[in-house]
A and B are shown apart, each in its own frame.
Chain A
Amino acid sequence: MNDSNGHRDHRVSSIYREGAWPEPGRQIDQAILAASRRAVRERHPRLMRWAPPVAIAATVLLTSSLVLKVFLAQPEAVSPSAPEPELRARQAPAEEEKPVEARPPRTEAPAQQPDATPPGFSSTMDAGEAARLDRMKRDLGAMKLSTIPSESPVPEPRPGPALKKEAARPAAAANTPQAAAPLSVFGATAPARSAAAAKPAQPLVQAPATAPAQPQAQEAQPAPAPPPVVQAAAISSAAAKERTPQAWIEDIRALMKEGKFEETGAEIAKFKKRYPDYVLPEDLR
């Protein structure tokens, strides 16, 4: 009668199974089976639902990081229309950090040897810059007519960041105002390409190894100088481009008189950056 546990009465069970066997309706069956299939199908679409936003976010992140990287690598290339003062402010520290030894061992006329051209400079040239270029052209023309005077002092190396201001000042003071005048337009960190654009520079003295010497250079230096002398001359010529603070201040005053107040402000800013300890005259403060 009962099973091993003594709780299953087979006769009762068999009578129970004689009764009605109700079952759920077909609609219930269909609803449950449909729900089971839907649950399986929805697993993947749930994951796919996130795919488009994630893809967009990844694209935006990648693009922005690339743009940022390019901008940091070449800021001028990305924003060629950056204002001139900004560009100059960016160029100034970069040039100041250049070691003197890094410059090419070439000897050129102080007025005609510009520094390396910062990228994108010409694209930011405005009317004031053009006027200054014209002045530069005139001055360069005047300089080309006469060779370097024999008694002109040997220009000292341009003071780099390691050089003290006091060391630069005596050398700059030794320069004549006439020699400093053409350069003063551009200041100590004058962009080279502007001068080059104004007139192609004719190197007065050039190292024999770099290029064949020009006739003019041969006149200035009859015998080829040994390399150490040429290097020293190169350093000196670089220093010759340095304006004296007084000459620079005069140039700033000239700009102010011409009514170029923006450029005046930029020049004063550059001056302060170059000579932070120099006390500006009352009229320029």
Chain B
Amino acid sequence: MGSGPADEELMTSYGAGDSGAFETLYRRHRGPLYRFLLRQVSDAATAEELFQDVWMRVIDSRGRYQPRARFSSWVYAIAHNRLMDFYRANGKARFLAPYESQEALDALPSDDIPAEALIDRKRAAERLLAALSELPDAQREAFLLQQEGDLSVEEIGAATGVGPETAKSRLRYAVAKLRASLSVKS
């Protein structure tokens, strides 16, 4: 994630009392983590509230932190759990991804992205974000964990509490649908 000490070192230093290490860590992850939350709740105030909660949990856990896995994998797991709490508290039991058959996946447009989408990238991005918000929560989360958290399939599975195959499947559906959204002529 760039030069300088690894995230895990910074978190360990913060646990030992180095508040500067936390600041560096925070600067690295603030944007991606915020967007990961904002893209899922679609409300800036709620996203900020969840964002603060996640970082407060990181702060509170500084003494217990063990660098067994990547820091980003750990912090996005916290964010996922906080998001689940939010969904439950708000009666949004829609997170469980609906079963989507291979046929449905095959019915999606091909991998090719229209040339006009590549030319007008700004407009294409808007269409992609709109399509992202329409994705089932689990698929959207898997895509965002990959794009914002830079997590691997295994890490996505670990952070969301599912196996790698499930995480892989969710990613495939998400990418296929987003690509299809770019192919749709406006």
- Which residues of A does B touch, CB under 8 Å? 1, 5-9, 11-25, 28-29, 31-33, 35-37, 39-40, 43
Contact = CB atoms under 8 A, between A and B. Distances in A.
21 contacts: A5-B153, A7-B168, A8-B146, A11-B118, A12-B179, A15-B124, A15-B125, A15-B128, A18-B122, A19-B126, A19-B129, A22-B38, A22-B44, A28-B52, A29-B26, A32-B26, A32-B55, A33-B22, A35-B55, A35-B56, A36-B22
Contacts of A9: 111, 175, 178-179
Interface of B: 14, 17-19, 22-23, 26, 30-31, 34-35, 38, 44, 48, 51-52, 55-56, 59-60, 62, 111, 113, 117-118, 121-122, 124-126, 128-129, 132, 146-147, 152-153, 168, 171-172, 175, 178-179, 182
Contacts of B128: 12, 15-16, 19
Contacts of A25: 48
Secondary structure of the B side of the interface?
Answer: helix
8 A-B pairs closest in CB distance = A19-B125, A18-B125, A7-B171, A36-B22, A18-B121, A37-B19, A24-B34, A40-B19
Given A5-B168, A18-B122, A22-B35, A28 B62 contact: no
Contacts of A12: 113, 128, 175, 178-179, 182
A24 B51 CA distance: 8
A220 to B, nearest CB: 89
A21 B118 CA distance: 19
A33 to B, nearest CB: 6
B34 A23 contact: yes
Given A15-B121, A37-B19, A39-B59, 16 more contacts: A7-B171, A11-B118, A12-B113, A12-B128, A15-B124, A17-B125, A20-B125, A21-B35, A22-B44, A28-B51, A31-B52, A32-B52, A32-B55, A33-B26, A36-B14, A39-B62
